[in-house]
Structure 1
Amino acid sequence: MSFDLVLFGGTGDLAWRKLMPALFQAFRHGTLPEGGRIIGVGRDDASHEDYRQRIGERLAQVETAKRPNPDEFAKFASLLYYQRMDVSKSEDFQALKRTLAERDADTVVMYLATAPTLFTQVIEQLQAAALNSPRTRIVLEKPLGYDLASNRAINSKVGEVFDENQVFRIDHYLGKPSVQNLMALRFGNAIFEPLLRRENVANIQITLAEELGVEKRGPFYDNTGALRDMVQNHALQLLCAIGMEPPISDHADAIRDEKLKVLRALKPWTPETLTQHSVRGQYDAGTINGQRVPAYRDEQGVNPETHTETFVALRTEIVSWRWAGVPFYIRTGKRLAGRDGRIVINFRPVPHSIFKLPGGGAANQLVINLQPRDGLELHLMAQGANNRRNMDALSSVQLDLDFDKRFGSERVGAYERLLLDVIDGRLNLFVRADEQEEAWRWVEPLIEYWKQDSSGPRSYPSGTWGPSASSAMIARDGYHWSEES
């Protein structure tokens, strides 16, 4: 199957950091379909050779195991082309049309790795140039909009130009091997699925923590914030994956129908819960790995008077027969004490223990690790072989499946997996318009509440786990965050 992948934003940060390395790995693994052409689009004056050289320099900086040798890169570089374009000029889209007509590929992928403010303009230009044929697929990077109204406006325009089955709204967390194995864990095994319900589960925690600050993304981040950047998309998609009912099949719409039901069942916000069940923070100066780091307000491109949040902690519930009364806690932030992405399912303690338990009442946990390593942990209670003096005492042990050790080089990275799915036309791991709209509808009361709250976000020192109010929020239910165990 021949394909053309047109990468708008082909000289941008996302292309350098994620997309080109992922495309090279697919090429190296032999999974990138033959007959492909990758066309980087940008405003720079550059030749095909200039562009290939830039990509080669970038790939020489990736981790050693993923760097191409000269022969590999020479073959990969033969797929790379460059086209200078100004997305405001219709004549540039006519030039792109002529480029694509040179070989009339079976599939054309338009990947919009640009600022979301350009999405509508690019889509209108594609329509005007008749570049929205049935063989075209369009990929939209997050965040898709700034609020519910802007999200609707973008999706409305997209819907005028493309059929829904041509639209791939990408969330790279859904391509992570651990998230894929979460689906396999739930719906491919008979052991865990019956346990994931209110009778057995005490609470569920979703943590997406980063040690990094905003780096060079200050201007973008200061207009976005953690709620829009991480919660509205990544965190809610993970919540759907753990909270959804079993779909009737692995068809894309069957899966997305069940995720939509979860989003619609999230407990609505009230004035009381907005105050009690939401915490926003902003990092102050501190220490990360022994190095002093600046406060968010001192980062390049950030307004020194900004109220933009770099940390969010939320409590919610899924109002359904399966999950009624079970709290779901979401936490995400920058400049935290560690890079840690995980879903922790805390089971209820045994109703009557005949053993002495550590801490006065330990319980089982299922941990889905997302980063920095992918894997699953099952925490159990067991009696140690050397515990002869206290035969009725138990200690905690764990079964640990590390995907890096188990699957090694067989594993496929998130963007690699998602890019291949786009080329093949598989929609299972992409977000439907109504899902996105429902997620925006749920977070919009928070956006409005924080907009009117003149006190601003709570400060927290870099290198900690965020504002103390986050721990206080979960403690009101009698629980604590997993790293505080």
Structure 2
Amino acid sequence: MVALAPNPLRIGLTQERVPAPLLFVLFGASGDLAARKLIPAIYRQFQARRLPAQFALVGVARREWTHEIYREKMHAAVEEFAPNDVGRPGVWGDFASRLFYSPLNIQERESYLRLNELLDRLDREQNIRGNRVFYLSVSPKLFPSALEQLADTGMIADVSKNRIVIEKPFGRDLPSAQELNQIVSAVCDEKQVFRIDHYLGKETVQNMMVFRFANAIFEPLWNRNYIDHVQITVAETVGVEERAGYYDSSGALRDMLQNHLMQIYALAAMEPPVSLGGDGVRNEKVKVVQATRVANPRNIAACAVRGQYSSGWMSGRQIPGYLEEPDVNPESATPTFVAVKLMCDNWRWQGVPFYLRTGKRLPKKVSEIAIFFRQVPLLLFESAAQQLSPNVLTMRIQPDEGISLRFEAKMPGPDILTRSVDMDFQYGTAFGTKTADAYDRLLLDSMLGDQTLFMRSDEVEAAWRVVTPLLTDWEDPDASHRVSQYEAGTWGPAAAEELLTKEGRRWRRL
């Protein structure tokens, strides 16, 4: 039988958790994600002895590779993308002996039958007892074919032993997400499905739950009575790189805000769960997303801004504008920057705005959530900065992972003047180790059958409903002129600043 889900009173467990004997089947095994993230992550779990003794990984892709060629390719990938994790030759040799490969045309039934024969043989040889995880690291347009073929060949028939991991994007709008959910539900049970968003695997994202629910001093303040507003920022310094074909059809709204930022938002805004088990957390996330809306759905321009980076200077070199990037449509209206004001219509958050922003070619790579508390009701003290700053609690997801609290303190001297100071916690300093890669945790959870950090079908659809007014407005051909330009290396278009300044607020300086 598959290992039971972890004790719901525990979170962040590592070495205590070892899956049952398992076959891990990786679709898209020759792709970039497999080489950069998935294989190095699984290899690190193997080195840390978190995988079962009876474990094998079967790579699946179109290329006509042999087992040996696949092992050589994956060794080269670990050496290139995780050189510090290569380890001793004997350790890699042991891991490589567990790697196998099966060429597969994702739409051809015979390919799946050959794959199933290999899986059955490995199952018998290693006494794996039918436990299998199928990881679909392929183009979203291939999800339906892969799911239907896996179902038709009986490879995902056992609800208790067979699981499917699906990479984002899960749809490109609400109707396509609903259609894909219908396909998934037709071939397997929701308990078998693991919709992965790697942001939920980050230690600092998970720490939001610990910070809120394991410390009595913060949760009583986590509401409209004490919080003025919340800012969530996910900024990237890179452009579209080699992803222009995909990115130009998605943009910042679909690629980042609908999934990554909404996941961070849900964890920050949700009610305390009844347990930290799978559905305990996911039930509360769904509730808060279902209660969320764009601030003014009848006037999108008043509560949301989209932008596109133009040519500018970063790190001493000139950066081409988005429309000048290779493979980008020179008339594209695809946003590379999005800022939006959300409201949550529930008892805890009524009237508290959440400002979310994300963009490419911004000055700094940073992901954080900043909680701005209300000003004190009576200003008794003068500030050296002429104006008292609000208390701000900041959770840094990356880089410099940690938490800081800004508050007012008296400056030395005979006068009673205050200045803002920071009380800071850093993961690296406190624990003496760097945080693990997000995929390390999520891959292990999928093998264990722990769905806590994976999205459920109703949550995916609820997130798409939140952004649907933006998609509807921005994809109107007559609205293309509203794409603001911002120079590469700046913090987005001026309209993004005005989104807050018109309400007497401003974005946190990063």
- State the TM-score bracket (shorter-chain normalisation): over 0.9
Q: How does 1:80-479 map to 2 (within 5 A)?
A: 80-104=99-123, 105-106=128-129, 107-134=131-158, 135-267=161-293, 270=296, 272-357=298-383, 358-384=385-411, 387-390=412-415, 392-409=416-433, 411-452=435-476, 453-479=479-505
Offset, 1:343? 0.2
Offset, 1:353? 2.8
Residues 7 and 359 (structure 1), Cα distance of their counterparts in 2 relative to 1, 3 Å cut: farther
Among 9, 27, 32, the residue aligned to 1:13 = 32
Matches of 1:442 and 1:349 in 2, distance apart?
A: 30
**Contact 1:142–1:170 under 8 Å retained in 2:** yes
Superimposed CA distance per residue, residues 21-46 of structure 1 (whole angstroms, 9 cap, x where no aligned partner): 21122122222232111111111121
Residues 31 and 409 (structure 1), Cα distance of their counterparts in 2 relative to 1, 3 Å cut: farther
The answer to whether residue 9 in structure 2 is matched with residue 2 in structure 1 is no
Offset, 1:355? 1.8
Offset, 1:269? 6.0
Residue 320 of structure 1 aligns to a residue whose secondary structure is: coil
Superimposed CA distance per residue, residues 104-150 of structure 1 (whole angstroms, 9 cap, x where no aligned partner): 33421110110110001100100111111221100011110111111
- Residue in 1 that maps onto 2:87: 68
Matches of 1:45 and 1:15 in 2, distance apart?
A: 17
Residues 283 and 69 (structure 1), Cα distance of their counterparts in 2 relative to 1, 3 Å cut: farther
Offset, 1:447? 0.6
Offset, 1:83? 1.3
- Residue in 2 that maps onto 1:46: 65
Offset, 1:375? 1.1
Matches of 2:228 and 2:297 in 1, distance apart?
A: 25
Matches of 1:356 and 1:406 in 2, distance apart?
A: 34
Residue 60 of structure 1 aligns to a residue whose secondary structure is: helix
Offset, 1:284? 1.2
Which residue type is aligned with residue 370 of structure 1?
I
Superimposed CA distance per residue, residues 435-471 of structure 1 (whole angstroms, 9 cap, x where no aligned partner): 0011111111111100111315211111111111100
Matches of 1:270 and 1:326 in 2, distance apart?
A: 14
Among 37, 45, 54, the residue aligned to 1:26 = 45
Matches of 2:388 and 2:435 in 1, distance apart?
A: 38
Residues 404 and 64 (structure 1), Cα distance of their counterparts in 2 relative to 1, 3 Å cut: farther
**Contact 1:9–1:42 under 8 Å retained in 2:** yes
TM-score, structure 2 length as denominator? 0.91
Residue 57 of structure 2 aligns to a residue whose secondary structure is: strand
How many residues are matched? 481
Residues 100 and 253 (structure 1), Cα distance of their counterparts in 2 relative to 1, 3 Å cut: same
Offset, 1:270? 4.4
Superimposed CA distance per residue, residues 221-254 of structure 1 (whole angstroms, 9 cap, x where no aligned partner): 1111111111111111111101111111112112
- Residue in 1 that maps onto 2:7: none
Deviates more, 1:248-257 or 1:468-477: 248-257
Matches of 1:201 and 1:61 in 2, distance apart?
A: 45
Offset, 1:16? 1.4
Superimposed CA distance per residue, residues 168-197 of structure 1 (whole angstroms, 9 cap, x where no aligned partner): 000111111011110001111101101111
Residues 356 and 71 (structure 1), Cα distance of their counterparts in 2 relative to 1, 3 Å cut: farther
Which residue type is aligned with residue 417 of structure 1?
R
Deviates more, 1:249-258 or 1:171-180: 249-258
**Contact 1:61–1:67 under 8 Å retained in 2:** no
Superimposed CA distance per residue, residues 350-393 of structure 1 (whole angstroms, 9 cap, x where no aligned partner): 11132222341211111010112321111122224xx1142x11
Residues 17 and 359 (structure 1), Cα distance of their counterparts in 2 relative to 1, 3 Å cut: farther
**Contact 1:60–1:68 under 8 Å retained in 2:** no
Residue 293 of structure 2 aligns to a residue whose secondary structure is: coil
Cα RMSD, aligned residues only: 1.5
Matches of 2:86 and 2:294 in 1, distance apart?
A: 48
**Contact 1:37–1:81 under 8 Å retained in 2:** yes
Residue 275 of structure 2 aligns to a residue whose secondary structure is: coil
Offset, 1:272? 4.1
Deviates more, 1:415-424 or 1:243-252: 243-252
Deviates more, 1:341-350 or 1:72-81: 72-81
Matches of 1:60 and 1:359 in 2, distance apart?
A: 55
Matches of 1:449 and 1:33 in 2, distance apart?
A: 50
Structure 1 residues without counterparts, runs of 5 or longer: none
Offset, 1:268? 5.2
